[in-house]
Structure 1
Amino acid sequence: LSEEVTVIGQAPIIDLKDSQTVTTNFKKEFLQKMPNRGVGAAMSMTPGVSNQSSFGSAQSNSNNYLVMGVKVNDPEGGESGMSLRHDSIEEISVMGVAAPAEYGGFAGAIVNSVMKSGGNDFHGMATFYMTHPSIRFENWEEYGEDFAERARWWPDESYDANFNLGGPISRDKLWFFASGSWGYGQQKQPDYEGPTEGWRPWRVAGKLTWQPSRNDRLSAWMSFDKDKIINYGFDPETMSAECNTNENHRNILFNAHYLHTFSDKTFLEAKVGGFRNLANNDVDRDNDPSPRFDVEDDMLYGSYLYTYYRNALRIQTNITLSHHAEDFIKGDHDFKIGAEIEYSKVTISYYYAGDKYYTSYYGGANGYYIQWDGYAGIGKMTTISGFVQDSWEVSDRLVINPGLRINHWRGRVPGISGAAFAPKMGIAPRIGITYDLFGDNSTAIKAHYGKYYHGLFTQQFFRLDPTYDSERNIW
């Protein structure tokens, strides 16, 4: 015996459950139609966001970037630490103004990307995007000489191929999703046959979702990508051909999510995620000759300016418990408590090629050189946060959202026992009120007060390292 029930209803025009005023969700169907797909494009379509600066924040490292609820900001500078393939994204949500106590470590927007999953039916997609000089018409000069000068360095030849497939391994129990991508890009300049900047990225990713019982669900996702930037930063107008170098990037991104349902009113979520990023260029510290800048012709000779090495690690764990209580203390309540623990480490180094940098006049007959010891640093940081929040439905027209978040930050560098960066405990209260003015979900008055702390990153305390002893000598 089976029974089918069809429920027909209209979604409310506005959300009365919380006091957030700018929350924008982008589904995959919309993302695929955008000319510039991905996280950055979604942010640019959000009210209150301009050039990655969100809701009055100073710059893009004021934002929180999440993958399936786990933060993936770069631990060195606070920007987004990972670039996701748009064809593997199910949904992107952007919020931030009047965010509840569950979210912290930001002063701008919260951008959460949800990756696609498998299901009981097989589904897949293949896409191919390209640009090529033969199918482009250049009319930059019509918009002025300054614009034409910049536009000629836009990538003139690029190819981007993507494939993904999802479906069941064991129906109603175990599902998979897999994706892969390959790209090629090369900048072009008319009447120039020398080296120009290009890139050669590729990526593979996979996700497994397992439901061992009615009350338990576990998913795990991992992505590996590699990118080589050819002739990184090369400019034929200011650099001779021998000064080009390649820059190599390798990234591993991982995420796991566990959901346990105790009842129809109480459930537990645990998440762990993070990434490792490795990057370096092909410049040797013992390179000979060293880079030389000639003032007369405004050109760099000999070698690329400096070596570059970077190793960044980020791991974060979130755990939350949610409970719905009906007719409890003057209304219905959606309680939520949780904790976050983050550990990050960044190792970076920069050196002049050959440890020297020359500035010469008249082809090298006169001038001076700078001898620099370079810079090598290690920064570690930990963040421990806890929060409690409530969505209190006092009546059909009034909802109150109280919350409290507590943050504990520590930054560590070599040469100091204990923490080099130890700010005081961050206590962040939140309170929001939403009132349905006419009782029909069409018009609401929202008010919010909250304290928000900027996210921590190692550039804020790198130079506290007492072993840092970099000298520059001019001869």
Structure 2
Amino acid sequence: MRLNLSRVCLCLLLGGVLAAAAIGQAVQTTGRIEGTIKDSTGGVIPGVTVSLASATGTKTAVSGDSGEYSFPFLTPGLYTLKAELESFKTFEQKDITVRLGQTTTIHVVMEPGEINQVITVTGEAPLVDTTTTTVGANLSENLYLNIPVQRNFTALFSMAPGVSDSGALGSYNPSIGGSSGLENNYIVDGVNITNPGYGSVGAYSSIYGSLGSGVTFDFVKEVQVKQGGFEAEYGQSTGGVINVVTKSGTNEFHGGVYFYGQPAGWEARRKEPNIYRQEKHTEFMRTESFDISADLSGYMWKDRFFFYAGFNPQWNTHMTMAPAGLGQWVNPGEGFFERKDTIFSWSTKGNFVPHSNHNIEFSMFADPSRRDGGPNRNMTAEGDDNYSELNYGSFNFIGRYNGVLTNNWFLTASLGRAYNRFEEQITHVDRIGYWDYVNYPSRQLMGGIGFFENNNGENWQFNLKTTVNFNAGGDHTLDFGYMYEDVTYTAVRRYTGPMLANPFGETYGGFFRYRYYPDPDTGENYDWNGDGVISDADALLQQYRGNFNDPNLATTTTYHSFYVQDAWKVTDRITVKAGLRYDYQEMGGGGEEAIVYEFTGNWAPRIGLIYDVFGDGKTKVFGNWGRFYQKIPNDMAVRALSSEVGVTNAWWSVAYDAEGRPMADEVINDQLPGNPAITRTGANPTYIVPDTKTMYQNEFVLGFDHQLDPTLSLGMRYIWREVGRMLEDTGTLTIGQYLEDDTNYTYVIANPSYTSDFVINDTGEVGSDGIGDGFADPKRSYNALEMTLEKRFSQGFQFLANYRLSKLWGNYEGLFRNDNGQDDANITSLYDFRSDAYDGYLYVPGYLNTDRRHILNFNGSYTFSNQLTMGLGFRSTSGAPINRLNAHPAYENAGEIPITPRGSEGRTEWVNAIDVHFGYPISFGDNYRLHFALDIFNLANFKRVIAVNEDYEDAPGVLNVDYLSPGSANNPDTPLTAFQRPFNMRFSLRFEF
């Protein structure tokens, strides 16, 4: 733990002083009810006693001089509001819904009369939140338990407008509002669980992607997807904010035992991409999942201490088979191999309420997981023992205080920790990995598995927020907040195989191509052994990946955020929202020569306007402009601020081990025609151009929300987003200069643009020569029109529907690059060279990879009079743009250089999915219920292509025989990267009390 206690104490002291004069609303885990109390003539009434009752007790407040009242820190759920004053009839309104991160406005009109006379309002609470400019969606358990949806909470994201699949990262890390999948912020019970190394959700590996979050449906109370327009309180995101609150206890005992089963036999036959491609990969036959869940909630001290505890073990099996010639790693009885994951998710929460105005909460959740030893990668042709075992998961906790100090002054403070880890244990770490271009019609992976990475991240988090309401030319809600994060991220990055010595006198590991050397004089394969015949004896090992730094690197980040925001109600209909946020990030590398760099100057203003059109809280027009900064993942600290140096293009003569595997013998570059140069890339560590800043994005939102009837609301909005500055590592040479002479090749970290001048162009040295360096301006522009239609549950019917029409245009996808599958945020290969003729269309704006022109969602359910519930989920998404990508002339990597305009090779197919849910409860008395359910996914058994291989070349001059075949070239061995998952079903049995 690297938590600096002196800093925390200073922050507490500073926050305590500022709390007396400013404020911060705790919207991350709660909602709010507020309003104004008036008499029948429209005059405000001060001094009214207002009480709010729920399953956890009763809170009270007194209306102020302007008749206003407010109840913050409300757990999402149902409430009853009552207002009482002598000489007036008592006002009561029941079944008021409070939603996560939203304000429910209830204006009270009191009539003259006796206090024992009660006027009960039966109408629904307003559906339109006239206090916010945030756009997105709130997803409650009442909806997602009655529709067909997968078990992890990440499956809910796609139900919200503006959310699409992020390409190679899949649905776990979605593209929100045109961003790449590594630009979101994930918060559960106020804990930021975003992976500190990569910016993903939960545990993450650059090989396997996201592998867990610690949260399943049975633990979740509500999910809020914030797409845009959010206040200065929220930052660290140029995508969206996913806000989740887990279940809590009440004054009633509830619990249950639940079983879910998705047998392999309930899945239709998958469409295999190997039928369509020459380079064969692992075949995924089918998947099955089973899990058992149990939970209990209630109280230990009525109205004072509540608890919740849940446990959910899960067993997931992926059944795979190797293509012919790729070893015999199969189950003899079944003909396939089973990749088994065992996950033990659990969650617990306690709430202590010493007084109705004070709440102390403690929450913990985790998902320790294991994947059994086996062929967890794309198997090589080595046989049946090239295995690995995965251990991964997360453990998170937070303690929080929420307090109503006076009717107009609120305070919240929290301290939490998020931890996640990933570890791959490899059976044969001694074998080099290589692509065999000699013995197969197309390349084939051989030897060891090559690159592997283990990592763990720890993030200690402290938050302080305080809020004050006052009147000065109108009602104000003024917020002040401070956040501190202390991150330690450790990565082990290396290659299988022995450590090799290079001509620089350093040792390193690497990845190879087993191939013939192309003679630059003749254009033919070079006769290495000089016998006049080209044969296997002439094959060499070309090492095109390698690094010789310390593979164990511990890096750090210290992050501070301050914000102030005000909601000024100018009139009863007009509200102005203004805020300012400042983010500071100090990042340090690992190793003896590591550096520390401070990213400063991150001022993020937000300004919004809300107009309550008719003054009844049912129709609003709103607009918001804001600037949003990213939080830089620590992968950049590992690879750029530490001692990572690489070697490429070393040619080795071949020796063979006892089993006939090629081994690197000695470097022979100086013995080959053309004398190919070995390239030593990177500095130790990478130089950062002075005054380099972090990436930011500007956003404008214009919207309209209208309540059509007491349970139905319509929303329409326009969203514009554009990257204003990019943070990337860049090279000092053009590709042409590099191919002629790479001796001066150096990486620097900067904010490259058309006006950049930090390179002496002729020599490639770092410095200014008064001439632009030749970089193109980064461009990512997102324009979208959205329409939403939501019906709250009423008379057995509920639904959420939305449609998005959008355009994503530019040359910079963001922190994740789908072209080559690179997840090294801010240090991708995109800007590694200054522009020249070798770039093709690399920097020419076009349709970006995650551009999905049309997305239509419908999710809803209907409960019949006999208690049978039927749910329906429908999603239709237009295709993604297709590119033609050449290999990089310098790096020799596939998937780097577009040689035609982006997206000009067509689009993938429209993808449609129809899912249905059937549920039926059987009650045993008043308190017990057995609930049967069946979920059918992809009812129509669509098997549309969802991605194609866009690599036109495998290596420079080597055409890819599988160009445009189904399946992404970046992760061909991950399930469902080529076709939709076919028809499959899940059954569940839930016993509840």
Shared fold per TM-score greater than 0.5: yes
CA contact (8 A) 2:491 2:638 kept: no
User: 2:309 aligned to 178, 191, 206, which one?
Assistant: 178
User: 1:64 aligned to 185, 195, 207, which one?
Assistant: 185
| Matched residue type, 1:318 | N
Partner of 1:45: 159
Partner of 2:233: 102
CA contact (8 A) 2:583 2:600 kept: no
Deviating more after overlay: 259-268 vs 11-20: 11-20
CA contact (8 A) 1:244 1:303 kept: no
Instruction: Provide the rounded CA distance (Å) in 2 between the counterparts of 1:151 and 1:215.
Output: 58
Q: Tell me the SS of whatever aligns to 1:402.
A: strand
Q: Aligned residue pairs: how many?
A: 467
Deviating more after overlay: 215-224 vs 356-365: 356-365
Deviations along 1:193-238, one digit per CA (max 9) or x if unpaired, are: 3534331111232211111233321111112322112336333576
Partner of 1:348: 491
Partner of 1:112: 243
Gaps (5+ residues) in structure 2? 1-81, 85-89, 94-120, 166-173, 203-212, 323-329, 499-508, 516-534, 653-993
| Matched residue type, 2:241 | I
| Residue 313 of structure 1, CA deviation | 0.7
| Matched residue type, 2:198 | G
Instruction: Provide the rounded CA distance (Å) in 2 between the counterparts of 1:84 and 1:5.
Output: 40
Partner of 1:205: 347
| Matched residue type, 2:188 | V
- Equivalence map 1:7-46=2 (5 Å): 7=93, 8=121, 9-20=123-134, 22-33=135-146, 34-46=148-160
Instruction: Provide the rounded CA distance (Å) in 1 between the counterparts of 2:494 and 2:594.
Output: 29
Partner of 1:367: 540
Deviating more after overlay: 269-278 vs 302-311: 302-311
Partner of 1:223: 365
| Matched residue type, 1:170 | W
CA contact (8 A) 1:344 1:380 kept: yes
Deviating more after overlay: 223-232 vs 384-393: 223-232
Q: Tell me the SS of whatever aligns to 1:456.
A: coil
| Residue 358 of structure 1, CA deviation | 5.5
Larger Rg: 2
CA contact (8 A) 1:415 1:465 kept: no
Gaps (5+ residues) in structure 1? none
* Residues 1:379 and 2:555 aligned together: yes
| Residue 415 of structure 1, CA deviation | 5.5
| Residue 360 of structure 1, CA deviation | 4.0
Instruction: Provide the rounded CA distance (Å) in 2 between the counterparts of 1:350 and 1:267.
Output: 47
Instruction: Provide the rounded CA distance (Å) in 1 between the counterparts of 2:283 and 2:426.
Output: 27
CA contact (8 A) 1:372 1:470 kept: yes
Deviations along 1:108-156, one digit per CA (max 9) or x if unpaired, are: 2111000111112111133222222333343748x99669x99962642
CA contact (8 A) 1:272 1:318 kept: yes
Partner of 2:477: 334
Q: Tell me the SS of whatever aligns to 2:599.
A: coil
Instruction: Provide the rounded CA distance (Å) in 1 between the counterparts of 2:572 and 2:432.
Output: 73
Instruction: Provide the rounded CA distance (Å) in 2 between the counterparts of 1:289 and 1:416.
Output: 29
Instruction: Provide the rounded CA distance (Å) in 1 between the counterparts of 2:430 and 2:592.
Output: 36
User: 2:420 aligned to 258, 271, 277, which one?
Assistant: 277
- The 1:135/1:382 distance shift into structure 2, 3 A limit, reads same
CA contact (8 A) 1:209 1:217 kept: yes
Instruction: Provide the rounded CA distance (Å) in 2 between the counterparts of 1:151 and 1:359.
Output: 20
Instruction: Provide the rounded CA distance (Å) in 1 between the counterparts of 2:445 and 2:255.
Output: 49
Partner of 2:518: none
| Residue 398 of structure 1, CA deviation | 0.5
Partner of 2:356: 214
Deviating more after overlay: 80-89 vs 98-107: 80-89
* Residues 1:124 and 2:255 aligned together: yes
Partner of 1:439: 615
User: 2:215 aligned to 84, 88, 113, which one?
Assistant: 84
Q: Tell me the SS of whatever aligns to 2:388.
A: coil
User: 1:188 aligned to 319, 327, 352, which one?
Assistant: 319
Partner of 2:565: 389
CA contact (8 A) 1:377 1:468 kept: no
| Matched residue type, 1:6 | E
User: 1:252 aligned to 395, 398, 403, which one?
Assistant: 395
Instruction: Provide the rounded CA distance (Å) in 2 between the counterparts of 1:471 and 1:150.
Output: 28
| Matched residue type, 2:143 | F
- Equivalence map 1:430-469=2 (5 Å): 430-465=606-641, 467-469=643-645
Instruction: Provide the rounded CA distance (Å) in 1 between the counterparts of 2:575 and 2:257.
Output: 45
CA contact (8 A) 2:586 2:599 kept: yes
| Matched residue type, 2:495 | Y
Deviations along 1:389-438, one digit per CA (max 9) or x if unpaired, are: 11111112101101111111111113689963322221111110011223
User: 1:287 aligned to 408, 413, 429, which one?
Assistant: 429
| Matched residue type, 2:359 | R
Instruction: Provide the rounded CA distance (Å) in 2 between the counterparts of 1:154 and 1:408.
Output: 48
| Matched residue type, 2:395 | I
User: 1:319 aligned to 464, 472, 494, which one?
Assistant: 464
- The 1:430/1:139 distance shift into structure 2, 3 A limit, reads closer
Instruction: Provide the rounded CA distance (Å) in 1 between the counterparts of 2:594 and 2:447.
Output: 44
CA contact (8 A) 2:594 2:641 kept: no
- The 1:363/1:14 distance shift into structure 2, 3 A limit, reads farther
Instruction: Provide the rounded CA distance (Å) in 2 between the counterparts of 1:293 and 1:29.
Output: 51
Instruction: Provide the rounded CA distance (Å) in 1 between the counterparts of 2:641 and 2:616.
Output: 59
Task: State the superposition RMSD in angstroms.
Answer: 3.1
* Residues 1:73 and 2:248 aligned together: no
- The 1:83/1:60 distance shift into structure 2, 3 A limit, reads farther
- The 1:398/1:358 distance shift into structure 2, 3 A limit, reads closer
| Residue 459 of structure 1, CA deviation | 2.5
| Matched residue type, 2:541 | Y
Instruction: Provide the rounded CA distance (Å) in 1 between the counterparts of 2:392 and 2:594.
Output: 32
